[in-house]
């Protein structure tokens, strides 16, 4: 076999045929339903207490903050009421020492100070007016409701949400470690520090990024149709969708819940689908997937995410390519001038190359190789040289790597179609109408930048008998730009309507 044929053989290990896809869709549906009945299920199916999606006519000025792993973003969003918005934002890196501070207060007072600085810089009139009034009043209770900014708080750590603006931290992740925050309500912690600075801001909603994506897309999507699903394909993967209240059986078991609006008969559910089929009854598994999982910090967990999202695809490709490099009968990246037997010295791969290191290959490389149409695959060879210390890669080398990269990316997209297809079928929207589009909002670098990711999803959706060509055409997929800011603002708006502030606010 030639080098390229050997590579194609590895690429075929990532084939994911229609019959398996169909089986996975059925199981996904079962796990969705199970998660609505009880806690402790494979798909967490977390109720978000958001009970309506926007239709584009929403208006007003809102604030949003986003505490991700690395940065803290503060923004204000003016919703114009015609599906468009203006957004002003600032971003600061979170100081390392605050991520591991002794007390929550140190981190949250820092966050409140960023909100204060943002208000002073971008909404000075509003801010000054508020401060002036406070100074001229004997008591601090006199300002009017319309002077207060409702703020949506996007918080990307595991929380147990028990109300639209209430949620306790389960555990820190991503390098954060502040012991006394665990078990506390993060909205209350932020509100305390905002109040200490006398800012005219009310934390109105706690927001998950998938819910933000769903809301943002629903506001900006064309026409009156509300969006069904918001999905993230970035570092991780997850989705939030609109479910019928009557199907969320476990809602009645949750005690200590805030009241929520039941008039729409619906609620947005955060699926946490990264853990779909952790039992591995239907997920495809190559030796490269198994190796990645074994060497991960959480073996056996997030098994769907480990085959789909940006954090992992590069590592899957690295392991697959390495299997060829280590095969003595396959001349990938081989140095023809060497007579030594040691793998390292018979290849053109530098000792420092990321190819030798776990997590050493970034998923953005998949996009480069898969999308490479240059003569002699010059672009891929350049990236191998510049970013991965692989000198003098031949055209055949690049072709081999491209074949495997494309296979890993295509399987990820087909698995993404499992999640999207299952949510669409669960909604019965394809049966309820013949013409209405079924709207899906997506976000994340993988779906945004991997060439043809959406087309691969569509190809897979067409192969599902219950969807078919007719159904696939009705599924409308659009990127939700600035999803976290706009989405959080929209949830703050909805929260303000359902949960009007009390006199003490």
- Name the residues annotated as catalytic: 156, 171, 209
Which one, 70 or 285, has the nearer CB to ligand ADP? Answer: 70
- Chain residues in the site for ligand ADP (CB under 6 A): 234-235, 310-311, 362-364, 366-367, 444-446, 449-450
Q: Rounded to whole angstroms, how far apart are CA atoms 490 and 481?
A: 14
Instruction: Report what 284 binds from ligand ADP, Mg ion, none; CB cut-off 5-8 Å by kind.
Output: none
Dihedral sign for Cα atoms in the order 41, 44, 46, 52 = negative
Residue with tokens 């075929």: 12
Task: Select the binding partner of residue 363 from Mg ion, ligand ADP, none (C-beta < 5 to 8 A, by kind).
Answer: ligand ADP
Q: For residue 314, give the nearest of 352, 363, 271 by alpha carbon.
A: 363
Lookup result for tokens 């995410």: 305
Please say which residue, 73 or 411, places its beta carbon nearer to Mg ion: 73
CA-to-CA distance for 236 and 431, rounded, in angstroms?
31
* Residue 71 Cβ vs ligand ADP, minimum distance, rounded to whole Å: 10
367: partner contacted, choices ligand ADP, Mg ion, none (Cβ within 5-8 A by kind) = ligand ADP
Alpha carbons 72 and 242: distance in angstroms, whole number: 28
Task: Output the residue with the shortest Cβ distance to Mg ion.
Answer: 234
Closest CA to 54 of 430, 482, 499, 495: 495
Q: Which residues contact 6 (CB under 8 A, 6 or more apart)?
A: 324, 327, 330, 332, 400
Partner residues linked to 86 by β-bridges:
78
Beta bridge partners of 71: 93
Q: In what order do the strands lie in the sheet with 149-155?
A: 85-93, 71-80, 59-67, 149-155, 201-207
Residues within the interface to Mg ion (CB under 5 A): 234
Give the shortest CB-487-to-ligand ADP separation in angstroms: 13
Q: How many CB atoms lie within 10 A of CB 357?
A: 11
For residue 302, give both structure tokens: 């997030």
Report strand pairing: 149-155 vs 59-67. Answer: parallel
Integer Cα distance of 230 and 166 in angstroms: 22
The alpha carbons of the chain give a radius of gyration, in whole angstroms, of 25
For residues 338 and 493, give the distance between their C-alpha atoms in angstroms, rounded to a whole number.
Answer: 67
Tell me the closest approach of the beta carbon of residue 451 to Mg ion, in angstroms.
Answer: 20
Nearer to Mg ion, 64 or 119 (CB): 64
**Residue 234 or 441: which CB sits closer to Mg ion?**
234
489 burial type by CB count under 10 A (0-12 exposed, 13-18 middle, 19+ buried): buried
Q: How far is CA 221 from each of CA 54, 87, 122, 429, 448, rounded to the nearest angstrom?
A: 10, 17, 28, 17, 17
Task: Say which entry of Mg ion, ligand ADP, none residue 445 contacts (CB below 5 to 8 A, set by partner kind).
Answer: ligand ADP
Query: From Mg ion, ligand ADP, none, which one binds at residue 16 (CB under 5 to 8 Å depending on kind)?
Result: none
Residue 364's binding partner among Mg ion, ligand ADP, none (Cβ under 5 to 8 angstroms by kind) is ligand ADP
Of 199 and 311, which has the nearer Cβ to ligand ADP?
311
Q: What is the DSSP letter of 366?
A: H
Residue 28 contacts which entry, ligand ADP, Mg ion, none (Cβ below 5-8 A, type-dependent): none
Q: In angstroms, what is the minimal distance from the CB of 302 to ligand ADP?
A: 14
Closer by beta carbon to ligand ADP, 220 or else 235: 235
Instruction: State the nearest-atom distance from the C-beta of 41 to Mg ion, in Å.
Output: 25
- Minimum CB separation from ligand ADP for residue 400, in Å? 20
Burial class (CB in 10 A: 0-12, 13-18, 19+), 166: buried
CB of 355 to ligand ADP, least distance (A): 16
Task: Find the angle CA(282)-CA(459)-CA(462) to the nearest 5 degrees.
Answer: 80
Q: Which of Mg ion, ligand ADP, none sits in contact with 446, Cβ below 5 to 8 A by type?
A: ligand ADP
- Give the residue carrying structure tokens 């993967």: 237
Closest CB to Mg ion among 230 and 234?
234
Residue 37 CB, nearest distance to Mg ion (Å)?
30
Nearer to Mg ion, 372 or 482 (CB): 482
């Amino acid at each position: 076999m030639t080098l390229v044929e050997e590579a194609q053989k590895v690429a075929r290990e990532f084939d994911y045929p229609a019959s398996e896809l169909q089986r996975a869709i059925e199981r996904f549906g079962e796990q969705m339903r199970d998660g609505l009945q009880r806690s402790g299920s494979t798909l967490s199916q977390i109720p978000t207490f958001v009970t309506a999606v926007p239709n584009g006519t929403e208006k007003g000025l809102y604030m949003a903050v986003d505490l991700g792993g690395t940065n803290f973003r503060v923004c204000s969003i003016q919703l114009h009421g015609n599906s468009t918005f203006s957004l002003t934002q600032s971003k600061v890196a979170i100081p390392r020492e605050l991520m591991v501070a002794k007390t929550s207060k140190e981190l949250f007072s820092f966050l409140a100070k960023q909100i204060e600085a943002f208000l002073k810089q971008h909404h000075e009139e509003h801010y000054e007016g508020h401060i002036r009034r406070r100074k001229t009043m004997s008591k601090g209770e006199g300002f009017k409701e319309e002077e207060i900014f409702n703020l949506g708080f996007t918080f990307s750590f595991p929380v147990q949400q028990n109300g639209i603006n209430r949620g306790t931290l389960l555990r820190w992740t991503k390098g954060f470690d502040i012991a006394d925050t665990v078990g506390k309500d993060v909205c209350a912690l932020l509100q305390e520090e905002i109040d200490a600075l006398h800012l005219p801001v009310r934390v109105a909603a706690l927001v998950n990024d998938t819910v933000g994506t769903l809301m943002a897309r629903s506001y900006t999507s064309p026409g009156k149709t509300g969006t069904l699903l918001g999905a993230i394909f970035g570092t991780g993967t997850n989705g939030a969708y609109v479910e019928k209240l009557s199907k969320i059986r476990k809602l009645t078991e949750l005690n200590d819940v805030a009241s929520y609006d039941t008039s729409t008969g619906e609620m947005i559910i955060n699926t946490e689908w990264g853990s779909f089929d952790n039992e591995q009854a239907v997920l495809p598994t190559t030796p490269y997937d198994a190796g990645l999982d074994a060497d991960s910090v959480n073996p056996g967990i997030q098994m769907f995410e480990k085959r789909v999202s940006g954090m992992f695809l590069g590592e899957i490709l690295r392991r697959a390519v390495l299997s060829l490099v280590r095969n003595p009968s396959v001349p990938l990246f081989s140095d023809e001038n060497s007579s030594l037997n040691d793998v390292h010295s018979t290849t053109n791969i530098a000792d420092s190359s990321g190819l030798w290191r776990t997590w050493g290959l970034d998923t953005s490389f998949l996009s480069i190789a898969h999308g490479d149409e240059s003569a002699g695959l010059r672009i891929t060879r350049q990236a191998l040289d510049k970013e991965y210390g692989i000198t003098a890669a031949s055209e055949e080398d690049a072709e081999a790597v491209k074949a495997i990269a494309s296979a890993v990316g295509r399987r990820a997209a087909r698995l993404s179609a499992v999640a999207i297809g299952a949510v669409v079928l669960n909604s019965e929207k394809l049966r309820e109408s013949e013409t209405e589009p079924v709207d899906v909002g997506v976000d994340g670098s993988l779906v945004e930048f991997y060439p043809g990711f959406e087309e691969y999803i569509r190809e897979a959706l067409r192969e599902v008998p219950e969807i078919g060509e007719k159904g696939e055409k009705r599924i409308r997929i659009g990127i939700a730009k600035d999803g976290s800011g706009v989405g959080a603002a929209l949830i703050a708006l909805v929260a303000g309507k359902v949960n009007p502030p009390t006199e003490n606010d």
